[in-house]
Amino acid sequence: MKRLWHLVWLCPLAVFGYLCVRADYDARYVMRVLWHRGSSTGDYRWKASSVLAASAHPRPWRETPDCPRITAAMTAAAGAPMESYLTAGGALGFVVIHDGALVCEWYGNGGAKDAPAAAFSVTKTLTSLLLARAVEVHATGGLDDAITTYLPELGSRDRRFEAVTLASLVDMRSGIAFDGTTGFPWVTGDDTRVYYASDLAASIVRYPRIAAAPGEFLYNDYAPNLNGLAIERALGRSAIDAVAQPVWDELGAESPALWSVDGHGFPWFESGLVVTARDFARVGQLILDGGKVGDRVVAAAWVARSLEPAAHATIFGETSLGYRNGWWVLGDHTLVAMGKHGQVMVVSLATRTVIVRFGLDGYDETNVSIARRLARVADQL
């Protein structure tokens, strides 16, 4: 019996030791992976955060209520009453901006207009604006700069990184491999190495590997973090303080936002934003307004680049989407920001509409399905 108890204790210790070896002896990282396992919309509560203060000069949305028309359009797109569809699907918030005015909003499942929600990969779209600002203030030479200009250690590890540009990273065409595997031994997948990193900046320099020459689309969480680290190296200080806060201020944000950071204060540039639906809609409106809100937030050329025709990549089963400048491209006139667990923003260029839908984890509808429904609503306005 005593020997059996020894085995009961030794087996978990042996597994933990093995995982630590596979994780390059980062026990804190291993503990995070084992304790939290799958991602959740509440993860920002156990991660540290930097705060984006509300704008010193907030710009409240002009309001022209038109909820009956939105309700009818959403009900038709969902095949069920709007409130029932949103509630049953785990939605936290649903905000519709048309011609620069807030025309309808709905909150449920614990959401509220002033309650921020985890945006997950919607964060990538805001990160692209931070890169735009860094280019505009000449902190970086431009999108054609090689990533090794700012992270020379990548080139020292593999000279093929010298062909990877900031542009290829923001368009997800860098040629960097990305393994989303989450099975045993759990700690070695690239998705896990990024999301649970205890030292994210060190991880994104150490673990990315080249799979091919730049050109082909491959969605990849290393990419926005590499651009984020390049911004910080170029500016010599935190991107949150240097570019994110000024952009947030100029957008006229009415509420504070959070940005999850690792133990060293480095932001998760691919997934760390925690924001209200009302305020994130300002990023979509920025596209419709050519990059300008009051004083210019980003150069018109950056907005134009987001709208350039993008090559389509067949992903999400048979759904064909483009990806450009941190935005998904749906059809000829719709840009989409998407994040895990139903975080979706649709920007319709044809009808000058922005729709933001944030939600909880644990629900089945795919982001692409949600985006298509929201796009159908926008097309009716």
Rounded Cα distance, 255 and 273, in Å: 13
What pLDDT sits at residue 184? Answer: 79
Sheet holding 91-98, edge to edge: 62-63, 101-107, 91-98, 353-359, 343-348, 334-339, 327-330, 320-324, 312-314
295 within a domain of the structure (yes/no): yes
Percent of the chain with pLDDT over 70: 93
Please name the residues in contact with 308: beta carbons below 8 A apart, sequence gap of 6 or more.
Answer: 324
Per-position b or e across 356-371, b if 16+ CB within 10 A of its CB: bbbbbbeeebebbebb
Mean pLDDT, the chain, rounded, equals 91
Identify the band that residue 238 occupies on the pLDDT scale cut at 50, 70 and 90. very high
* Domain containing residue 311: 52-124+132-144+238-379
Q: What is the per-residue pLDDT across 102-123, written as a single tens digit (0 to 9) for each? A: 999 999 999 999 999 999 999 9
Residue 34 is assigned to a structural domain of this protein: no
Least confident of 33-37, 84-88, 346-350: 33-37
CATH number of the domain encompassing residue 58: 3.40.710.10
- Domain total for the chain? 1
CB 187 within 8 A of CB 30: yes
**Dist. CA 39–CA 125, nearest whole Å:** 20
Q: Is pLDDT above 90 for 2?
A: no
> Which residues, 6+ apart, have CB-to-CB distance to 362 below 8 Å?
90, 341
Residue 23, pLDDT score: 80
Q: For residue 113, is it within any domain?
A: yes
Q: Give domain status of residue 223, yes or no.
A: no
Could you tell me what percentage of the chain is helix, strand and coil, using 3-state DSSP and rounding each to the nearest 5? 45, 20, 40
Q: What residues form DSSP beta bridges with 258?
A: 51, 274
268 has pLDDT over 60: yes
280 or 138, higher pLDDT: 280
pLDDT digits (tens, 9 = 90+) for 195-225: 999 999 999 999 999 999 999 999 999 999 9
* Phi-psi label, residue 366: left if phi above 0, alpha if psi -120 to 50, beta otherwise: beta
Cβ-proximal residues to 9 (8 Å cutoff; 6+ apart), any chain: none
pLDDT at 243 over 70: yes
Residue 346, in any domain of the structure: yes
Confirm whether 289 is domain-assigned.
yes
In a domain, 333, yes or no: yes
Mean per-residue pLDDT, 157-173:
97
Residue 73 within any structural domain of the chain: yes
* Residue 95 β-bridge partners: 105, 356
pLDDT digits (tens, 9 = 90+) for 314-360: 566 566 788 999 999 988 889 999 999 999 999 999 999 999 999 99
Could you tell me which residue, 184 or 1, shows the higher pLDDT?
184
pTM > 0.85: yes or no: yes
